[in-house]
Structure 1
C-alpha cells in the first residue's frame, strides 16, 4: 500500500518537473506558430546572418555537414547508446541504469517527433541555402536528441566516474549539445528558437525520467532493501 502510494507520488513529481521545464517550450511553440512578431523576425535575421558566415567558408560548411551526420539520431541512438550500454552492463553491472538510459533515449525521440507534428513549423527559407533538410522545424530533432543522449549517458556512467571525470564528462556533454545547436542554425536548417526549444525539451524529458528512475531504484522490494541502492555519490 505504502509502496504504491510512493510510486504514485514519484510519478506525480516526475510529471510536475517535466511539465514545469517544458512550459517555456510550449510558450515558444505558441509564439512561433503564428509566424509573425518580433521573436520570429529575430529568428529569421539570425539564420540569415549565420548562413552568411557559413557561406563564406567552404571549410566551415564541410565541418558543419559532417557534424550534422555524426550527431544524427541513427548514430547516437543506434550505435553510441548501445555501445556504452553494453560496456556499462558487462563491465560494471549497471543493469538498471542501462535499461533506464535506453528507454529514456527512445522516449525522447518519440516525444520530439510528436512535438514536431503538433507545431508544424516550416524550416527557414533562405535564398542560396547552405543545406536542405526535410520535415518540420520546431523543435530541433538534433538538439533534442543530443541533449537527451548527453544527459542519459552522463547519468548512466556517473557511478563509475572519478572526481576529475565527473567534471570532464558533463562539461563535454554540454559543449557537444551547444555545438550541435549552433550547427543547426549555421546550416540554416533551424531557427535559434528551434534549438533552444530542443535543448529545453530534451532536458525536461531526461530530468523527469531520472526522477522516476531514482525512486524506483531506491524503493524496497518485498519489504527488503534493494541490492544496490544509489547513494548521494552515485547519482548526479
Structure 2
C-alpha cells in the first residue's frame, strides 16, 4: 500500500511553550503510524508579542502582568509546563531570570528556510535554544548559529535577516493568518481539511491521523 501524503501546516511562535509541547505530541502520534505517511511540514509565523521591545522582558514578570496572575500562579504554571514537556522528551528550563524576546527576526529566518528541507530542524533548534538553553532569539549570532547547526548556509542566512523582501513576505503571511481569524497558537492543519487548535494530547493527534488515513484509503 502506498504511503499517504500528509501536509502539516503549523502556526506557532518560537517562544510559545505550548507550540513546542504540541509539536512533540504530534511527533509521538506520528510514530504510531510508522511509514504510512509521507509528511511535509510547513511552519507559519505568529507573534505572541509583536510589540515586545528589542531587549525583551523578564518572562516571569511578563506572564504575571499579561495574564493577571500572581507570582505563585506563574511559578506553578511554569512548573506544569516543564513536566508536560518532559513527558514528550523536550526539556524546558524556566529560570527566574529567563527573558522573553521579540521573535520577528526568528520568523524571518524560518520563512527563508521554508524552501529548504531544514525548516522543521531549524524550528526545533530555536525551541531548544530558547526553552532549554535560555538564548536570546532576537540576537543575530544566536539565529545564525541555529541555522548553521542544522545545515543551512550561515552567510545566506545572514543575508536573509537583512532582506527587506523576506521581511515583507513574513509580515504579510502573519497578517493573512490573523485576518483568517487565527488569534492564538499552536494551530495544526492537516491537508488543508482538518485542524487541531492547541497542544492536544497525543491521543487526539492519533485520532485525527486515523481519520485522515480512513478517508484516503477508503
Does TM, normalized by the shorter one, top 0.5? no
Normalised to the residue count of structure 2, the TM-score between the two structures is: 0.24
Normalised to the residue count of structure 1, the TM-score between the two structures is: 0.23
Q: Which has the higher helix share?
A: 1
Q: Which has the higher strand share?
A: 2
Choose 1 or 2 for highest CA Rg. Answer: 1
